[in-house]
Structure formats: structure tokens, C-alpha cells
Chain A
């Protein structure tokens, strides 16, 4: 299937949202408290709704979600990283939702009406996601020695994957926004939260990339195997 720039772009944004939604849904019944169960799964639900509208812009949402292989997925590597402990889940949320909010804000005036429509709704939703991650970051970073150490470890683990967020190409520039233009604002925003949480901004080093070309980490294949197994075993099944 060949896709034009807008469809290709919609799949990139849709895959980012879908994969992170699937990751967060795992926390249902496993979060540290009931309110957190509800928060993480509400965030997952928002992301799933965004993904459905975006993938629907590019083709059949079910086919795209359930019948593509790992190499056909176009999400950034950050969102597929394992949940780890609660600190790793929160750090991934802070790093990604801060970026995703800036990207949706830039897309409110996009030429394509579906992408602009999703963005206009999503900015209000992702503002909550970012705020949720920021509050936990402050509490855990400036919390106990144990929580501070876990947040530091999560930051060191995930920071390398943030560089890929800002790699843009012609598709991004034609259909949406060049993510490179969002870097300075993102970095200042994240650094402000980390500093307030008594956490250090990690040094830049290793820069893994390849998600937009379908080259993923081992984690994505396992995630998709679970997400797609029912649909592949029972093609066309409905509730």
C-alpha cells in the first residue's frame, strides 16, 4: 500500500499513540493505588482514541493496528520501551507527553482537517497527561532516597531515546511540523521539571534511532504479539 505524505504522517502519530496506549493499559489493576489505576488507564484511553482517528485517516484502523508486522510500525522507540518499575513508566510519560503536547499544539492549524481536528481535541487531553507525569516526577524525584534513585535510573535508561523524537524529514515538514523546531522548548520544559524534582538532566550520549523506518527494539515485537494475537487467531471477530 502506498501512502501520501499526510497518510504516512498520520500513521507515525497514530503509532506513537497506539503503542504507548498499549503499554499503559498493562497497568490496569497493577498500579500502586486505585486512583493511579484509573489515571494511567484514562490516559491510555485518550491515546487509543487519538490513535483510532489518526490510523483511520490513513486506512482501515483494524488492519493497520492488528495486521502490520513489527517492521511496518512507525512509532518512535521511546514509547515502546518496557514499563519497568513505576518510575520508568512515569519518566517515559514525562519525556513523551511533553513532546506530544508541543507537537499537537503545533498541529492545531494543520492543513489536513483530520490531523487538525485530532490535535485540537488532544491538546486538552495531553495537558492532563503531562501534568500527571510532572506531579509524580516532583513527588518521586524529591521523595525518598529509594524513589530518587529509581527516578535517576529511569532517566539514564530512557534519555537516549529522546533524541529520535526531534528527527524530522520531508514527510513531517510537508504534512505537519518539523519536530526539530520543538526541541528547545521541550528541553527547557523538561529541565525545569527535573530541576524542581532535584533530578539531574542526563548528559547526551548514545542516540538510538530507526523507529520511523521500522527498525525497532526487541520490546515492540513482544508488545505486538500480545496485542495482535486475538485478532490473528480469529480474523474479523467482533464483540
Chain B
């Protein structure tokens, strides 16, 4: 098996908490290579305590195993630190369709400045932050002032 073939197999592993997007689209999948017959898959966590990492590791192994690849090494790297700048345009589109406002481009300086969050239900920018912490580490809670719907926002990070 080539590295490209292995990459195609693992790239579609869904995020366990937001299953509409894949680990490749989220930027969690950093590298796939073959080292002396072993498929080496390198992933990076979105947040230090992201509880999805164990499930992602298991799913990577399971998918490669289905293709007859038993010699697998899943490595976790912290550096360079994951950022929402790595989300693909496809991931942003899928998140929005799923009801999660995708991250705006990061403001220079503080990660706390979140600019122009757009309501995924009605498209209004007249939204307000309800809590900086949400149902997963990577999300915050918003409410739309136009359609009054609450929604999750994928924090720019």
C-alpha cells in the first residue's frame, strides 16, 4: 500500500462529536507515510483535552485493518498547535449546513475577539454570544437576535 492510498482510507474518518466533517477537513490529520512497512498516521488534537482523540485513533486503526493493514502506528503531535485556520472551505460549508456557525478568520492578537458570527439558520449577523463554553471544547453558545434561535459556534482558535 502506498502512502496516498493509506491517506485516502483514513482521511474520511468522521469527527466523533461533529460527524458531518472529517478529520482531514478539520485539520486533525497531519500526515500519512509508510516507514519500513508500517503505516504511520500523525494526528493533532484540537484542544489539549479533546476526548475524541481516542475514538479517532481507534477508527483510523479499524479502517486500515478493513483494508488488510495491521501494521499501524498512530502518532499524536502537539506542535505546531492546531488552529481553525486549517479548516477547509468544505468543512466550513458543512458545519454551517449542520447548524454550527463556522469560525470567522482569526483576529490578530487575542483569541477572544470573535468577529462577525453569522446565524446558520437565517444568515443574520445580528447575533450575540451567550457563553464562551459550549457542548464541546471547540464550541461556544450563541443566540440570533433576528430569528431568536440558539446555535453553536465553532470558536476561532
Q: Does B130 contact A (CB under 8 A)?
A: yes
Q: How far is the CB of B117 from chain A (nearest CB, A)?
A: 16
Q: Which of A43, A46, A114 has the most CB of B within 10 A?
A: A46
B82 touches A121 (CB 8 A): yes
Q: Does B18 contact A (CB under 8 A)?
A: no
- What total of chain A residues lie within 8 Å of the partner, measured CB to CB? 27
Residues of A within 8 A of B111 (CB): 124, 127-128
B132 touches A46 (CB 8 A): no
Q: Does B135 contact A (CB under 8 A)?
A: yes
Which residue of the partner chain, among A39, A113, A118, A132, contacts B48 with CB atoms under 8 Å? A118
A49 touches B77 (CB 8 A): no
Per-position binary interface string of chain A over residues 95-134, scored 1 when its CB falls under 8 Å from any chain B CB and 0 otherwise: 0000000000000000001101110111011011001100
Q: Does B70 contact A (CB under 8 A)?
A: no
- What total of chain B residues lie within 8 Å of the partner, measured CB to CB? 24
Q: How far is the CB of A139 from chain B (nearest CB, A)?
A: 14
A41's nearest neighbour on chain B, judged by CB, is B133
C-alpha spacing A100/B73, complex, angstroms = 33
B133 touches A42 (CB 8 A): yes
Given contacts A38-B135, A46-B137, A117-B77, contact A124 B157 (CB under 8 A): yes
A121 touches B133 (CB 8 A): no
Residues of B within 8 A of A131 (CB): 112, 132
Q: How far is the CB of B53 from chain A (nearest CB, A)?
A: 9
What are 28 sample pairs from A and B whose C-beta atoms fall under 8 A apart? Answer: A35-B130, A38-B135, A39-B131, A39-B132, A42-B134, A42-B137, A45-B47, A45-B51, A48-B48, A49-B45, A49-B49, A50-B49, A53-B78, A113-B79, A114-B78, A116-B79, A117-B79, A118-B78, A120-B79, A121-B47, A121-B48, A121-B78, A122-B48, A124-B157, A125-B48, A128-B112, A128-B132, A128-B133
Binding site for A on B (CB under 8 A): 45, 47-51, 77-82, 110-112, 130-135, 137, 141, 157
Binding site for B on A (CB under 8 A): 35, 38-39, 42-43, 45-50, 52-53, 113-114, 116-118, 120-122, 124-125, 127-128, 131-132
